[in-house]
Amino acid sequence: PCQVQALRRMQTSPLGCRKLTDHVALVIGLFCMEIYSYDRLVKEFLLPKGVDPKNVTKFAIKKGRFIAYSDGTELLSTPLKEVDDYIRAACKPCTDLTSELADISVGGMASSPGWSIAIARTQLGEDLLKEAADSGILELRPFEETKLGLNAVSKLSLAKKRRGEGA
């Protein structure tokens, strides 16, 4: 969301970098709750717990836990509260979970396994998603058919807005 916000500011500001932003045809934004300071997370949290980052193939956040995997094997699972100190400072006041200013927002949170949620936020985004589905590039289904759906995304988004406003 922060990159999308920066791009939109550049596009709309009289001081913006028009030469750069004029070449942007489509803005796809990712869902993001926060980002961790990688160096601090590794040095101060993972290494002391015996987790070598060279062996980590994936980090995930599921059901209130921060999880490190190596080729599908869980190396570490810890409550999210334990990694709160490693959230980047710029993320704490952020109120945008779903890249609200993008043409299309995409994320895996609150989606069924193997699926991502895509939200068309502009006519361009809607047209491109429909075209991709019509041509067989994407398979689309309504939120109601997803595991958790729009209600869960809305709740998470509201929680982030409240957290950011209180930061």
Its pTM stands at: 0.83
Spatial contact of 75 and 51, defined as CB atoms under 8 Å apart: yes
Q: Report the range of poorest mean pLDDT among 14-18, 65-69, 113-117.
A: 14-18
Predicted pLDDT at 146: 61
Give the model confidence (pLDDT) of 19-31 as tens digits: 778 889 999 999 9
pLDDT band, very low/low/confident/very high, at 91 (cuts 50, 70, 90): very high
Distance set, CA 165 to CA 87, 91, 154 (Å): 16, 12, 16
Residue where a domain stops, chosen among 46, 68, 86: 86
Say whether both 72 and 102 belong to one domain. no
Answer yes or no: do 93 and 82 share one domain. Answer: no
**Residue 29 sits in the same domain as residue 40:** no
> Which CATH number fits the domain that encloses residue 82?
3.10.450.750
Q: Which domain does 110 fall in, by range?
A: 1-33+89-167
Judge if 82 and 93 occupy the same domain: no
Instruction: Note the pLDDT tens digit of each residue in 29-67.
Output: 999 999 999 999 999 999 999 999 999 999 998 888 999
Residues 105 and 56 in one domain: no
Q: How many domains does the chain have?
A: 2
Mean pLDDT of the chain: 91
Residues 104 and 161 placed together within one structural domain of the fold: yes
Residues in the chain: 167
Token look-up 């109120």 returns 95
* CA end-to-end distance (rounded Å), the chain: 17
The pLDDT score that the predictor gives to residue 147 is 57
42 and 14 in one domain? no
